[in-house]
Chain A
Amino acid sequence: MVDLARKNLLHDRLRFVITVSGVAFAVMLVFVQVGLFLGLLHNASITIEKLGADLWVTSHQVPNVDFSKVYPEVSLQRVRSIPGVERADNLIVAFMSTALPSGAQETMVVYALEDFGYWRMPWHVVSGDPSDLRRGRSFFLDESAVGRFGPFQVGDYREVLGTRLKIIGVTREARSFTTTPIAFMDYDLAQSLDPESLRGRTAYTLVKLAPGADVEAVRAEIRRRLPHNDVHTAAEWAGMSRRYWVESTGLGLNMVLTIFLGCLVGVVVVAQTLYTATMEHLKEFGTVKAIGGSNAMIYRILGQQATIAAVVGFALGGLLTLAIRPALASVDLKLIIPSSLAAFVFAGTIVMCLAASIVSFRKVAGIDPALVFRT
């Protein structure tokens, strides 16, 4: 069978390049915007996922992991005594300001635990030993802090809330949704730095269940014993933390608008080029009709051309996205493109291009085959 659709499409190479470029641009726009968004959202819940706690006890109505509210740390004892709880520890998450060598003040998010080893925090250590955090006035700082704090290295000192602390380790990938760098320090040290807010208080209680323990039963018992706290599974809490940023900041709406605009650009470019191509090939389509072809046959040609443009445009857009990934990474922007997103964008691209070809369908339906007799 002669593939008129493909041959016609490729015959005019410049037009084909323009069509595919339009699709590729739309695909890249969606991939980059959604990928960056997912990258940021990943930051919003990365500590929850890495900590590996089964349950998180929080103050009532805490919206996300960064915006903690403190409660009495003695609640921990009530949690530890619940059957089915293998281990429970307090966790402080607090914003603390640090003085830079330049004299400026910057903020970091401090994660403070008694036993970093058990909870496997920090999860990606570049240098230093987290067990040393118990030994004095020191902390680990994520390497992403270089952007805000300027260069630093193990052995440097920084003033945190007016107290001189030594940097004894460097971590990687530990940053919050707001891109504020994360620091790790001993639980008692954190309380001593801000006694007014933190003495005798904690932000969270992490719960690890014993093997075979019933999550819901333990959760119900914690709720009974700590009626003024909330209890979330790690998955729920990660979801809440991500959702907070999506819903409360307008980022979700912004994302929808970006995707819409990307699709609109794609539809307009593809519709315009396919329509122009259809207009230029009207006589050919008239010939197809004159020799016995039906409208459906011509619709198939247009549909196939739209699909080819979609597939090639998607592939090109995907490659361009992969190509700019290192550049984005160099400015600390993480692009996350899960296979489900790729599949969704692929299906969306096909639908977008087919929708764009509908404009041409209408034109083709009205072609008079007697056109072939006109000079």
Chain B
Amino acid sequence: MPALQAHDVYKRFREGREEVPVLNGISLDLERGEIVALEGPSGSGKTTLLSILGCILTPTAGRVVVDGHAVDARANGKLPAIRRTSLGFVFQQYNLFPALTALENVEYSLNVRGWGGRESRREAERVLAEVGLNDRRDFLPRDLSGGQKQRIAIARALAGNAPILLADEPTANLDSTTGGQVLDLFQSLARRENRALLVVTHDPKVRTIADRVLQIRDGRLAA
């Protein structure tokens, strides 16, 4: 069974008296260990699709199954629990907590997921070592480079063994070399830990690590 399934997903937003269609019948599957790149121009519906697959929004119509959990318009109350157990996020702006050190940033996300005590500390140390930042564990985000921040964000997404990782433009704020390093790291960790990885991107380099590339235009996946 795929880690992530979307079948005939529609999403419309209300703007004033009008309903604006953003997604128009999207279907896709994502297997564990698979890396999929999702490309598309601005306004094509990438972020909305990512929000629905990430259980942040519910679809107006259609069916989404995340790690065995069905997500539909009536499932709003269940979404935070699904996000905690099944999903890891990497954001374009890193979204690290400025007051927390690298290690604490990772550990806090584990605390939110219900991990505590020494267990969460050990897991945070493990994933921080995986992304090669053990020597920066006590640094605040302001003292780290963009690439290091994004590696912490990746460590945060990996922590807790969520089967599905969703990344929103993870290289957009990085220079070409650093972006390449981050993608290589992402690829190797996702494969080694058998996670499903969906990367929403404008960056053509993402194609080099992806098993499949999906194009979205006007709320539809192009062939």
Contact = CB atoms under 8 A, between A and B. Distances in A.
Contact of B95 (A8, A297, A372): A372
Interface string B16-57: 000000000000000000000000000000010011001011
Contacts of B97: 4, 7-8, 284, 287
Contacts of B89: 290-291, 372
B18 to A, nearest CB: 20
B54 A1 contact: no
Contacts of B81: 292
A375 to B, nearest CB: 6
Interface string B73-112: 0000000110111010101110101111000100111011
Most B Cβ at <10 Å: residue of A4, A287, A294: A287
Nearest to A284: B97
B113 A292 contact: yes
Nearest to A289: B80
Q: Is the interface of A mostly helix, strand, loop or mixed?
A: helix
Given A2-B111, A370-B56, A292 B80 contact: yes
Contacts of B84: 291-292
Contacts of A286: 95
B113 A291 contact: yes
A11 interface: yes
A10 interface: yes
Interface in A329-375: 369-370, 372-373, 375
A109 B210 CA distance: 96
A291 B99 contact: no
Contacts of B51: 370, 373
Nearest to B92: A375
Given A8-B97, A8-B99, A372-B89, A292 B112 contact: yes
Contact of B54 (A284, A288, A290): A290
9 contacts: A1-B117, A2-B104, A2-B111, A11-B98, A291-B84, A372-B56, A372-B95, A373-B51, A373-B56
Given A287-B97, A297-B112, A370-B51, 7 more contacts: A1-B116, A2-B100, A2-B111, A4-B108, A291-B112, A370-B47, A370-B57
7 A-B pairs closest in CB distance: A292-B84, A11-B99, A292-B83, A2-B108, A7-B99, A287-B95, A293-B112
